[in-house]
Structure 1
Amino acid sequence: MQIELINLKRQYKNLKDEINQAIEKVLENGQYILGPEVKAFEKEIAEYLGVRYAIGVANGTDALVLSLRALNIGPGDEVITTPFTFFATAEAVSLVGAVPVFVDIDPDTYNINPDLIEEKITERTKAILPVHIFGQLSNMDKIMEIAKKHNLYVIEDACQAIGAEYRGQKVGTFGDAACFSFFPTKNLGGYGDGGMVVTNNKEIAENVDILRKHGSKKKYYNEEIGYNSRLDELQASILRVKLKYLDTWNNMRINAANKYDSLLSDLSDVIKTPYKIKEAKHIYHLYCIQCENREIIMQKLKERGIATGIYYPVPLHLQKAYTNLGYRQGDLPVAEDLCKKIFAIPMFPEITDNEINYISEVLHEIIN
């Protein structure tokens, strides 16, 4: 049996007619940049999340950059964030001229540890940038409390977490702004790049809108140096089709995760499965497990046709690009240790019970 880490083809086959019709509609309409599909998708995302404003941009990285710029964060400023995430989170901070300040993570949720944030706050700190890693919410109650106390902005990196909830409140609605990615492998993914900034603040929304169009409110009249960062009309049309199925797909992921949890529970002394916050809805962008001898287990899974992936092999504070910040091995031990043990096994909505059973059987064989 061959099982991909993420299988995108099954989803397309299920939606082929709807997707093709949506694409054809755009091609026939003749409006390919910031047309009716983008406007409609922005409105639908805002309604889905329960926010006032949603602004489509070119990708999740740009969503982060434009959010930071919209809040006037730049040279001389510091932004507190997690070292355990995709590089774009910190990269965006650097791209606006600010400095990322890394805080170690919670060993269970893998998100930024809020109990360690305050000791890293200085007079230069302007924002906290938590990531909801793998679809699991950060502790937003504590983070918002700290931000309020110190008069800091909060930008949620929700690129992996669309549809996740805490006490019924959707991810992306806690901070001053939130960023989403529609990269093809995301829970709501297009067939190319795409991103979104959401906020309840009119000024932030207007700033992001101006920045995504070369710093222009009115065409050919430029108020500041901006970006060419617009969600593509074709991608918006595809994402509008998919948005209708997002909750169903997330529930399918949750069911698959619950099955993994149950099947792997007797290996708990060797394999650590994902932690679940009781009051939260974890939407399992990835299903990541921890164990010693990761490379050996991954190789044996590969020999049996099961794909895996390491998310992430190097914490951001130890990346070559950030040697200038002066971090050393041992500075953020929880993130560093996790990067040596964690890897993902197949997870996508359409994964079958037979496939999950097979993966569990193979893991049992390897470990026993």
Structure 2
Amino acid sequence: MSVRFSSAKSEYDLIREEWFERINQIAKTSVFVGGQAVNRFEKGYAAYIGTKHALGVGNGTDALFLTLKALGIGPEDEVIVPANTFIATVEAIHHTGARPVLVDCDPQSYLIDMDKMKQARTNKTKAVIPVHLYGQMVDIEAINEWADTFHIHVVEDSAQAAGAKMNQKRAGSLGTAGCFSFYPDKNLGAFGDGGGITTSRDELAEKILLLRNHGSKVRYSHELPGFNSRLDPIQAAALEIKLKYLDEWSAKRRECADLYESYLIGMDVMTPIHQNDESHVFHVYMIRVEEEIRDDVRKQLQKRGILSAVHYPTPIHLTPAFKELGYSKGDFIHSETYTKEAISLPMHNFLEEQDIQRVAHALSDALKSAVRV
């Protein structure tokens, strides 16, 4: 018996009948773009996050890009971003024409190193994108205090942190705006692509509304050159249904993380550092093993029906896509080191203790017999 890496199939089984009924209602109205399904989800998600606005868009990358565009960020501007993030975070900056300025991560939490972030600021810095990596929140309030001094926008990359909460405030509610991915494997995932932007700034929300829909609020009246990035109503319907389970699922993931910690005691692995509160929703449960055995450990786990992953194998500055930024190997040593040792173990809303026990036993055996390279 295998241990699944994610729970998209189980989530589908859970909401299938209710979702099919929503799809039937959408089909009867023949409103296949926008409409009440999207409006209901946006209203519900804004209330859940604690912002005045939630705006559905095509995907998480568009959420970042459109937010930066709406903030007026473009050529000659700089945006600070961690080197250890999914490439979409940096792509969004690149496509505005601004320069991504990379900084290293904290060696324990893997979140953006705030001291290095502050050192990277120049008079061209217009925004910083702290990434709530693996589901763990960055201390946005601390960043806001610094950023406000220099009139720098704080755009939360909340793609992996839907539902996370710090000091009773949710990810996506603390910065200038929060950007979410609703990709199927996310903590709040659709059954296709989708993304969202949350903000309490009316002017920013109005600008994003225009940009996501060809620069138009009224059909054939175009106020500016825009884009086509809208949340599909069929996906919005699934997200609205799933939203009512999100807090329960977040609690389940934290419970699974606690079980992992108890079962991995005594093994030669490094488990995640976190605050033992709601600020981590464990989109990913990432451990570290010795670099020399990492790949063999993963192969042995796979042979026993346990899938794993590496989030993410190559820091941004070492990818061919962003070699023109001019960084070199060794520039971000913490990001470079841990990605060679990282293994993401199965983590989802439907894991049971027996599944985690199986993973732990298989991992223990793999560590003992792993071949060094």
TM category (shorter chain) comes to over 0.9
**1:217 CA drift (Å):** 2.7
Query: Paired residue for 1:186?
Result: 186
d(CA) in 1 for partners of 2:148, 2:265: 40
The answer as to 2:307 corresponding to 1:284 is: no
Query: Paired residue for 1:213?
Result: 213
Contact 1:23 1:238 in 2 (8 A): no
The answer as to 2:81 corresponding to 1:86 is: no
User: What is the one-letter code of the residue matched to 1:194?
Assistant: G
d(CA) in 2 for partners of 1:25, 1:218: 25
Cα deviation 1:185-215 (Å, max 9, x = unaligned): 0011111111111101000000000000111
Contact 1:163 1:170 in 2 (8 A): yes
Query: Paired residue for 1:127?
Result: 127
Cα deviation 1:239-296 (Å, max 9, x = unaligned): 11111111111111111111001111222xx211111125552101111111112101
d(CA) in 1 for partners of 2:61, 2:234: 19
What SS does the corresponding residue of 2:262 show, helix, strand or coil?
Answer: helix
What SS does the corresponding residue of 1:265 show, helix, strand or coil?
Answer: coil
Query: Paired residue for 2:348?
Result: 348
**1:29 CA drift (Å):** 2.0
Cα deviation 1:44-102 (Å, max 9, x = unaligned): 00100110011111110000011000100001100000111111000000011101000
d(CA) in 2 for partners of 1:264, 1:22: 43
d(CA) in 1 for partners of 2:208, 2:330: 38
d(CA) in 1 for partners of 2:275, 2:106: 12
How many residue pairs align between the two structures?
366
Query: Paired residue for 2:197?
Result: 197
Which moves more between the two structures, 5-14 or 222-231? 5-14
**1:352 CA drift (Å):** 1.6
d(CA) in 2 for partners of 1:288, 1:306: 14
**1:366 CA drift (Å):** 2.1
Contact 1:106 1:334 in 2 (8 A): yes
d(CA) in 2 for partners of 1:264, 1:281: 22
d(CA) in 1 for partners of 2:16, 2:212: 31
User: What is the one-letter code of the residue matched to 1:147?
Assistant: A
d(CA) in 2 for partners of 1:14, 1:204: 36
d(CA) in 1 for partners of 2:7, 2:189: 12
**1:141 CA drift (Å):** 2.8
**1:21 CA drift (Å):** 1.4
d(CA) in 1 for partners of 2:22, 2:351: 26
**1:140 CA drift (Å):** 1.5
Structure 2 unaligned residues grouped into runs of 5+: 369-373
d(CA) in 1 for partners of 2:263, 2:276: 20
Contact 1:80 1:129 in 2 (8 A): yes
User: Matches of residues 111-122 of structure 1 in structure 2 within 5 Å?
Assistant: 111-122=111-122
What SS does the corresponding residue of 2:155 show, helix, strand or coil?
Answer: strand
Give the TM-score normalised by the residue count of structure 2: 0.96
Query: Paired residue for 1:104?
Result: 104
User: What is the one-letter code of the residue matched to 2:50?
Assistant: G
d(CA) in 2 for partners of 1:189, 1:285: 11
User: What is the one-letter code of the residue matched to 2:234?
Assistant: L
Identity of aligned residues (%): 40
Segments of 4+ in structure 1 off by > 4 A?
none
d(CA) in 2 for partners of 1:365, 1:73: 51
The answer as to 2:366 corresponding to 1:366 is: yes
What SS does the corresponding residue of 1:196 show, helix, strand or coil?
Answer: strand
Return closer, same or farther for 1:120/1:111 CA change in 2, 3 Å cut-off: same
**1:115 CA drift (Å):** 1.2
Query: Paired residue for 1:298?
Result: 298
**1:14 CA drift (Å):** 2.0
**1:218 CA drift (Å):** 2.1
d(CA) in 1 for partners of 2:191, 2:367: 38
Query: Paired residue for 2:32?
Result: 32
Cα deviation 1:109-160 (Å, max 9, x = unaligned): 1111111112111111100111001110112132112201211011000011
Contact 1:22 1:241 in 2 (8 A): no
d(CA) in 2 for partners of 1:142, 1:110: 17
Return closer, same or farther for 1:278/1:257 CA change in 2, 3 Å cut-off: closer
Query: Paired residue for 1:239?
Result: 239
